[in-house]
């Protein structure tokens, strides 16, 4: 029988031996477990960024996948190590919010503290619990030699991160930048669902701290000429600001966390460019 | 029975969730398929660079390997998604040339458009077809639950990229820089075959836009003292310009696409330094 | 029966096709071998850095693991390709010291030159022996179609790198910086064992070329306020200098190889902060 997949989301980077040590511990406990990297390039200590990336990627993995996420500035301190069981999989990491965006988008069944020394390495370092606590627990959960209940006591109120709510008034939306990807595409908190309830248009007026921009609203980056800005529904269901073959974040001067105001303007001529 | 390998060549980078989503889709469809990254660090939108790297790496993979390559500035636009069957494997990606250098160096048997919705995700985003079209098709081909003919109609003229021909006159060669690797080694379009037909020498005169250099022609980087330039036949059969433990691209002021003129000068004393 | 794991430690970087070619050669020879990257981000030609990272990660891998390490400025030159058998696994790479720190920390049983053409690719390039010599040998050792004795003659004196010894006088230690990790944590050569023999304290005075610093000696980064420096025993057993959620290397002006003088000062009040 094949073991379940373990995914890794960390801020460890790829130069140091840390990711390999996590994989080595998993391989020792569960030789058949397949490990898939989500990313190790989360900005150091940026829990929200880790939470966002994990929440984007997790839905595409097979049922039963164990997601290990370690962006853990409080390692060795008061925050608890936890595991979260959902209807679709398990999430393992610190109780600092990094797991919860992804877990909440599935149905959470139980949250347990990791306290049982049977499933962790000894001694546990206070500086590298990704290796000493989370890796062995993920391996045992993937191999099914541990159940989530055996790990430790229930956690009643795991820490949740709050992301900015979207403010809607007719065709006007006030949200924030959730993420800027490596292409410079700007992912906003305004979702496909927000738009469908409030109508939308073929063009959008974008107001940011740095200026006002008029954008065409289309489906593909290449629906506008090279170098032109475009708004579209990105591959994860959020309104995305992009520049065809260019870098929108740089050109529109936008960073994660910044406020964006968008006003969608209907236009009869180019409605076929709208998402459907 | 073991599934065939799927390789990945993209410009996605390793920070965003995109590579993981591609791997997740493959794992869901074909849990036993092994995925090997060729690179995700192709310069954004640089189709030629993706084509070059894939063509270098592909010959070393086992027969039957499925190569997925996504450097796709026209994603969601007019360019077709295609699959190319060769005698050695299959190539899956956009019809923009990124697949064809690698495919042509094997014997191409058929090229088909990917149009059959049975083998793709629904709905297909217009911004991330690596995940929605290419990943599921690669997984089905690796698992043999799809044959290339089932994917869609034949493509008669897939797009080919033209790389500069090498110009030869006696011992003089005019080519271009195909690639600069992470060590700063400069891979030119002049091949081992070019040299063997036209004679060669123990030293070479290199003319570039920035100057004239005299190089020793040897077999190993360390055949010259530290910091000295050397020309040799690199590990992929092209004339390569290097500096022992240094960066040739920086020192010789060369970038991908630049013209290089080389004149090889025979010398009786050091012929043993020639490639054989 | 499952094949043994092969790990990779190189200075190849992740952009070029080189890592994929190594993995392709291994997959062709031993399809069931699982390859785990330790790192490909060793600074180019920095043998000591490769040796350090491999020595950190290797102990966590299962018995029988084959470790391939290629940081090889002398590729194709006089240095021999070797394989080192220890009681826990096998190390494969150039005889330039990169393997030996990791191998010595296990019990070395035999060191052999790689000379038998049965286990290498033909022809062997003089510029990429990671692919042509080390990858096929590692695959054969993992698959057990080669034993270390069959590879070639014994090597009596493999090259060892010498790292600075730690100088102790009472509570004063003189060592050097072994490594700076991606978080900016500074790993010194002073070990937990050094400290336990000579006593320690709740605070430490650090003298470097750039100044004198007073540090608290604790167990976890978060045992001090954000932005404060701390000394602790890191996850590999060395004294580490860190700044909670900050970059110690930048702030303390320390690089690999630099000398550090530390004087530990006992303090009755905070002894619970000491490593135990």
Residue by residue, DSSP assigns C100-154 as: HHHHHTS-EEEEEE---GGGS-SSPPSS-HIIIIIHHHHHHHHHTSS-GGGGSSB
Taking the CA of residue A227 and the nearest CA in chain B, the distance in Å comes to: 12
CB contact under 8 A, C20 and B40: no
Chain C contacts of B223, Cβ < 8 Å?
76-77
The predicted pLDDT at position A138 comes to: 98
* Strand ranges inside B87-228, DSSP E: 90-94, 108-113, 167-169, 172-180, 186-191, 203-208, 211-218
The predicted pLDDT at position B165 comes to: 83
CB contact under 8 A, A75 and C181: no
Per residue in A170-185, pLDDT (tens digit) is: 889 999 999 999 999 9
Per residue in C110-148, pLDDT (tens digit) is: 999 999 999 999 999 999 999 999 999 999 999 999 999
The predicted pLDDT at position C151 comes to: 98
Q: Does the structure show a pLDDT above 50 at C270? A: no
CB B233 within 8 A of CB B246: no
Q: Give the Cα separation of B251 and B229 in Å (integer).
A: 9
Which residue from C61, C181, C232 is facing A24, i.e. has the nearest CB?
C61
The predicted pLDDT at position C111 comes to: 98
Residue B95 at interface with chain A, using a CB cutoff of 8 Å: no
Per residue in A13-42, pLDDT (tens digit) is: 999 999 999 999 999 999 999 999 999 999
The predicted pLDDT at position C273 comes to: 35
What percent of chain A lies above the pLDDT cut of 70?
Answer: 93
Place of tokens 């022809």: C123
The predicted pLDDT at position B39 comes to: 98
The predicted pLDDT at position A276 comes to: 33
CB contact under 8 A, C240 and A127: yes
- Of residues B78 and C2, the one with the higher pLDDT is B78
Q: Does the structure show a pLDDT above 60 at A102? A: yes
- List subunits contacting chain A, requiring 3 or more Cβ pairs under 8 Å: B, C
Domain C5-151: top CATH class: alpha beta
Chain A contacts of C240, Cβ < 8 Å?
127
* Interface with chain A: mutation pick from B20, B36, B94, highest number of A CBs within 10 Å: B20
Place of tokens 């110690």: C248
Task: Name beta bridge partners: C246.
Answer: C243
Which residue from B32, B45, B126 is facing A245, i.e. has the nearest CB?
B45
The predicted pLDDT at position C275 comes to: 36
Nearest CA in chain B to C19: B38
Q: Give the Cα separation of C176 and C197 in Å (integer).
A: 19
The predicted pLDDT at position C200 comes to: 54
CA angle C220/A124/C52 to nearest 5° reads 80
The predicted pLDDT at position B159 comes to: 97
Q: Assign A193 a pLDDT band (cuts: 50, 70, 90).
A: confident
Q: Does the structure show a pLDDT above 50 at A270? A: no
CB contact under 8 A, B57 and C21: yes
The predicted pLDDT at position A271 comes to: 36
The predicted pLDDT at position A201 comes to: 61
The pTM assigned to this predicted structure is: 0.94
Taking the CA of residue A178 and the nearest CA in chain C, the distance in Å comes to: 22
Q: Give the Cα separation of A134 and A151 in Å (integer).
A: 11
The predicted pLDDT at position A140 comes to: 98
Nearest CA in chain A to B125: A235
The predicted pLDDT at position B267 comes to: 57
Write down the mean pLDDT value for chain B. 92
- List subunits contacting chain B, requiring 3 or more Cβ pairs under 8 Å: A, C
Chain B contacts of A221, Cβ < 8 Å?
73, 75-76, 127
Structure tokens at B128: 């991330």
CB contact under 8 A, C27 and B5: yes
Per residue in C60-117, pLDDT (tens digit) is: 999 999 999 999 999 999 999 999 999 999 999 999 999 999 999 999 999 999 999 9
From-to residues of CATH 2.40.30.90 in chain B = 167-265
Rounded to whole angstroms, the maximal C-alpha distance in chain B is: 68
The predicted pLDDT at position A117 comes to: 97
Taking the CA of residue A28 and the nearest CA in chain C, the distance in Å comes to: 5
Nearest CA in chain A to B12: A182
The dihedral built from the CA positions of residue B261, B263, B264 and B267, taken in this order, carries a sign that is: negative
CB contact under 8 A, C7 and A20: yes
Q: If we measure between CA atoms, which residue out of A240, A241, A237, A242 comes closest to residue A192?
A: A237
CA angle B114/B119/B123 to nearest 5° reads 90
Q: Does the structure show a pLDDT above 90 at C266? A: no
Taking the CA of residue A96 and the nearest CA in chain C, the distance in Å comes to: 14
The predicted pLDDT at position C198 comes to: 53
Taking the CA of residue A226 and the nearest CA in chain B, the distance in Å comes to: 10
Which residue from B7, B14, B221 is facing C20, i.e. has the nearest CB?
B7
Taking the CA of residue A8 and the nearest CA in chain C, the distance in Å comes to: 14
Q: Assign C203 a pLDDT band (cuts: 50, 70, 90).
A: confident
Nearest CA in chain C to A36: C36
Residue A71 has, within 13 A of its CA and on its CB side, a CA count of 26
Q: For the residues C17-37, what does the mean pLDDT come to?
A: 97
Domain B167-265 is of which CATH architecture?
Beta Barrel (2.40)
Residue B219 at interface with chain C, using a CB cutoff of 8 Å: yes
Q: Give the Cα separation of C17 and C1 in Å (integer).
A: 30
Chain C contacts of A74, Cβ < 8 Å?
222
Per residue in A58-87, pLDDT (tens digit) is: 999 999 999 999 999 999 999 999 999 999
Asked if the ipTM is above 0.85, the reply is yes
Residues in chain B predicted with pLDDT less than 70, given as ranges, are 1-2, 197-201, 267-276
What percent of chain A lies above the pLDDT cut of 90?
Answer: 83
Q: Give the Cα separation of C78 and A276 in Å (integer).
A: 65
Nearest CA in chain A to B15: A41
* Interface with chain C: mutation pick from A73, A127, A182, highest number of C CBs within 10 Å: A127
Residue A210 at interface with chain B, using a CB cutoff of 8 Å: no
Spell out the SS3 assignment of A3-21.
Answer: CCCEEEEECCCCCCCHHHH
CB contact under 8 A, A60 and B12: no
Place of tokens 């070479």: B204
Q: Does the structure show a pLDDT above 50 at A157? A: yes
Give residues 20 to 79 of C whose Cβ lies within 8 Å of B: 20-21, 23-25, 27-28, 31-32, 44-45, 73-77
* Interface with chain A: mutation pick from C235, C239, C245, C248, highest number of A CBs within 10 Å: C235
Q: Give the Cα separation of A169 and B24 in Å (integer).
A: 38
From-to residues of CATH 3.40.50.10790 in chain A = 5-151
Q: Assign A204 a pLDDT band (cuts: 50, 70, 90).
A: confident
């Amino acid at each position: 029988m094949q073991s379940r997949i373990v995914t890794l989301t960390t801020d460890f980077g790829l130069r140091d031996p840390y990711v390999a040590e996590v994989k080595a511990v998993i391989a020792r406990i569960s030789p058949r477990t397949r490990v898939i990297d989500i990313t190790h390039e989360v900005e150091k200590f940026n829990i929200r960024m880790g939470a966002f990336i994990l929440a984007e990627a997790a839905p595409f993995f097979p049922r039963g996948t164990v997601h290990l996420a370690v962006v853990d500035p409080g390692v060795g301190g008061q925050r608890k190590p936890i595991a979260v069981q959902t209807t679709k999989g398990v999430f393992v990491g610190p109780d600092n919010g990094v797991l919860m965006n992804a877990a909440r988008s599935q149905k959470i069944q139980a949250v347990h503290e990791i306290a049982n020394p049977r499933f962790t390495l000894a001694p546990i370092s206070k500086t590298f619990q990704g290796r000493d606590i989370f890796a062995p627990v993920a391996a045992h959960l993937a191999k099914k030699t541990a159940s989530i209940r055996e790990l430790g006591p229930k956690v009643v109120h795991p820490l949740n991160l709050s992301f900015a709510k979207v403010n809607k008034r007719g065709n006007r939306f006030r949200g924030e930048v959730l993420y800027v990807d490596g292409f410079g595409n700007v992912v906003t908190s305004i979702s496909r669902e927000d738009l469908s309830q409030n109508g939308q248009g073929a063009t959008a007026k974008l107001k940011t701290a740095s200026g006002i921009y008029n954008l065409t609203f289309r489906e593909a980056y290449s629906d506008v000429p090279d170098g032109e800005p475009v708004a579209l529904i990105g591959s994860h269901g959020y309104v995305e600001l992009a520049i065809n073959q260019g870098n929108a974040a740089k050109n529109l001067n936008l960073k994660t966390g910044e406020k964006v105001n968008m006003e969608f303007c209907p236009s009869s001529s180019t409605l076929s460019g709208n998402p459907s």
